[in-house]
Chains A and B, each alone.
Chain A
Amino acid sequence: AQSVTQLGSHVSVSEGALVLLRCNYSSSVPPYLFWYVQYPNQGLQLLLKYTSAATLVKGINGFEAEFKKSETSFHLTKPSAHMSDAAEYFCAVSDGGRIYFGSGTKLNVKP
């Protein structure tokens, strides 16, 4: 069975500070891992995906995530937060079939 756990339902950072959103996965097969962003009243937008190629994945808007098999983690980072990064972020795992989402982390960026 596949599942993801996102630690921290709310994260608050100052503008210009490092963003770190945590995601741990559980998968019985080599997983595909994703990070999505959702702005209020909008659908999900794919930030980046891991598909068993490079372990460090770069996405849009300056985000990146590192796949660490030993830690079963896929944390999302951005070196310098921008006000426009304020949104809800979802980690997801797929075995190639269905996709399962974490509970989401709301990112607040303080000026």
Chain B
Amino acid sequence: GAVVSQHPSWVICKSGTSVKIECRSLDFQATTMFWYRQFPKQSLMLMATSNEGSKATYEQGVEKDKFLINHASLTLSTLTVTSAHPEDSSFYICSARPLDRDYGYTFGSGTRLTVV
């Protein structure tokens, strides 16, 4: 149980376009989902906390107008990279936790974004 599906697994887009990444909890509900970014050879960096039915909470230094997060239901959060640039190329991972647990995050398989 506690499966998180992330889609797409990889995407290539042109500079200036927008890309949407989906994070779905398949067999549980999650009021909170987290979005991380991983640069090559570096650790995960928490970008934002996605809250169902309310605005996301962004970490310091993360542009909320560039990384739009929508958490419209208890099983889906989306991250949209707007007006993408090559420096946005990275590995994006989401995570979530079932409502009835206070530990044990499940991570999606990640999305490799390449902006050309």
Of the four ranges (under 10, 10 to 19, 20 to 34, 35 or more), the interface on chain A belongs to: 20 to 34
Q: Does B95 contact A (CB under 8 A)?
A: yes
Contact A41 B110 (CB under 8 A): yes
Known contacts A98-B34, A99-B34; A46/B43 CB under 8 A: no
Contact: B43 with A103, CB < 8 Å? Answer: yes
Pairwise interchain contact A44-B102, C-beta atoms closer than 8 A: no
Cα(A51)–Cα(B107), bound, Å: 18
Is B108 a contact of A43 with CB atoms below 8 Å? yes
A43 touches B107 (CB 8 A): yes
Does A102 lie within 8 Å of B46, measured CB to CB? no
Are B103's CB and A42's CB within 8 A? no
Asked if A96 meets B102 with Cβ closer than 8 Å, knowing A41-B112, A43-B6, A43-B93, the reply is: yes
Give the Cβ gap from B61 to chain A, nearest Cβ, in Å.
15
Given A41-B112, A43-B6, are A102 and B43 neighbors across the interface (CB < 8 Å)?
yes
Cβ contacts under 8 Å, B42 to chain A: 103-104
Q: Is B89 an interface residue (CB 8 A)?
A: no
**Cβ of A90 under 8 Å from chain B:** yes
Q: CA A104 – CA B41 in complex, angstroms?
A: 9
**A82 is an interface residue with CB less than 8 A from chain B:** no
B28 contacts partner chain A, Cβ-Cβ < 8 Å: no
Interface of A is mostly: strand
Are B104 and A90 closer than 8 Å at their CB atoms?
A: no
Q: Is the CB of B105 within 8 A of A43?
A: no
CB of A42 within 8 A of CB of B109, answer yes
Which one of B34, B43, B103 has the greatest number of beta carbons of chain A within 10 Å?
A: B43
Known: A43-B6, A44-B93, A90-B44. Contact between A99 and B110, CB under 8 A? no
Which residues of chain B from 33 to 85 have any CB-CB distance to chain A below 8 Å in the complex? 34, 42-44, 46, 49
For the complex formed, measure the closest distance between the CB of A31 and the CB atoms of chain B, giving whole angstroms: 10
A→B interface (CB under 8 Å): 32, 34, 36, 41-46, 49, 51, 90, 94, 96, 98-104
List 13 interface pairs A-B (beta carbons < 8 Å), by A numbering. Answer: A41-B112, A42-B109, A43-B6, A43-B93, A43-B110, A46-B105, A46-B106, A49-B103, A49-B104, A94-B105, A101-B43, A101-B44, A102-B43
